[in-house]
Amino acid sequence: MSKKRVKQYLMLLTVIGLVAIAAGGSGTFATFSAETTNPGNTFATGTIVLSNTVNSGTSCLSTGGGNTNTNINAACDQLFSALVKKPGDSYTGDQLNLQNAGSIDATALKLTAGSCLTSNAGGESFHGTGNLCPLLDVYVQEWTDNTYSVASHCWYGGGNATTCAFDDTKTLSTLNGASPFTLTGGLNAGSDRYFTVGVELQNGAGNTVQGRSAAADLTWHIDQ
């Protein structure tokens, strides 16, 4: 065997020996390590749910008693239902309690009045053909608490900034055109606001509106 071949052979044996030593001793080396875990990380959302209660009736929830997928309920109690009235008669008796039943503060509370529509009154045998809507004065009054004894703001109607009064220029017809109203102050989670809506048939209403009925939706809306 030539010297060159011997040298190559010895070098190969040396490499094999070093690899064997490294492999055989690998289990004896210690390593430093550390580890922490932040488990179960979550991100949960809150809710905005509007509760609408007329007088001492059952609370009407925007969820309709179900989930929040739509969160719109158009089937709450009537806020006023005045029957067999004559010129000069008014109706102001019903009380509305709005509550944010959710967990997130609402920064905006809004009121929208739908178009007023006149039709023949049910239960009446005789009818005129006139439009009742522009002859019905209306106001939207807010109160400080659930006693409805101290006025806090007049949002629509005559009177002054605090206390409403009937005004022949503020009617169910004009209410629709003036809305939506942003009712300053929002509605914090768990808090309430208190309202009444007054209506009065103008003294000048004539025979054309006998046996007639006016109807308009009032929609209350909150946003985060």
The verdict on residue 38 lying in a domain is no
**160 in Cβ contact with 101 (< 8 Å):** no
The verdict on residue 155 lying in a domain is yes
The verdict on residue 20 lying in a domain is no
Q: Which domain holds residue 168?
A: 50-223
In the chain, DSSP finds a helix count (H) and a strand count (E) of: 2, 14
The verdict on residue 41 lying in a domain is no
The verdict on residue 188 lying in a domain is yes
Residue by residue, pLDDT tens for the chain (224 residues) are 565 565 555 565 555 554 444 455 555 568 999 999 999 999 999 999 999 999 999 999 999 988 999 999 999 999 999 999 999 999 997 999 999 999 999 999 999 999 999 999 999 999 999 999 999 999 999 999 999 999 999 999 999 999 999 999 999 999 999 999 999 999 999 999 999 999 999 999 999 999 999 999 999 999 99
- CB neighbours of 104 closer than 8 A, spacing ≥ 6? 46, 47, 48, 189, 224
The verdict on residue 16 lying in a domain is no
User: How many folded domains does the chain comprise?
Assistant: 1
Element of type H or E holding 100: strand 95-100
